[in-house]
Amino acid sequence: MTTSTLVPVFAALGDETRWSILAALGEGDASASALAGSLPVTRQAIAKHLAVLQEAGLVESIRVGRELRYRVLGAQLSETARRLESIGNEWDLRLAAIKRIAEEL
């Protein structure tokens, strides 16, 4: 996995409505129509958001009869968190190194 696959994940997470959807799915799997019942946007808007989330690998869809249920995938989030962590650490290390050098002057 390169950062190129990481960016869409962040882009997907950079929207309030999408977090509402994820939070709702956190309560249990649901279809776009069902979500439209508890959120202040139309089913079609939700469907678009779900497409973005699925593209980012944050949710997966399961056909149940005539409805399409969505399930949140915590693994992708954890994976992303792990990579963020390591990047953050690198930067912190660099800053610490600079500080050390500055103190040696």
Partner DNA sequence: ATGTACTGCAACCATATGGTTGCACCACAT
Partner DNA sequence: ATGTGGTGCAACCATATGGTTGCAGTACAT
Q: Which parts of this chain interact with a copy of itself (CB under 8 A)?
A: 3-4, 7-8, 10-16, 19, 26, 71-78, 80-82, 84-85, 87-95
Sheet holding 67-72, edge to edge: 30-31, 67-72, 59-64
Closer Cβ to a copy of itself, 16 or 104, answer by number: 16
Dig out the tokens for 95 from the structure: 């800053």
66 binds DNA (CB under 7 A): yes
Question: Choosing among a copy of itself, DNA, none, which partner's interface includes residue 31 (Cβ < 5 to 8 Å by kind)?
Answer: DNA
For β-strands 67-72 and 30-31, DSSP reports them as antiparallel
Q: Which of 24, 16, 13, 17 has its CA nearest to residue 70? A: 24
How distant is the alpha carbon of residue 86 from its chain centre?
Answer: 18
Q: Which of 3, 86, 18, 2 has its CA nearest to residue 58? A: 18
CB of 76: closest distance to a copy of itself in angstroms? 8
Question: Choosing among DNA, a copy of itself, none, which partner's interface includes residue 82 (Cβ < 5 to 8 Å by kind)?
Answer: a copy of itself
Residues in contact with DNA by CB under 7 A are 11, 14-15, 17, 31-34, 40-45, 47-49, 52, 65-68
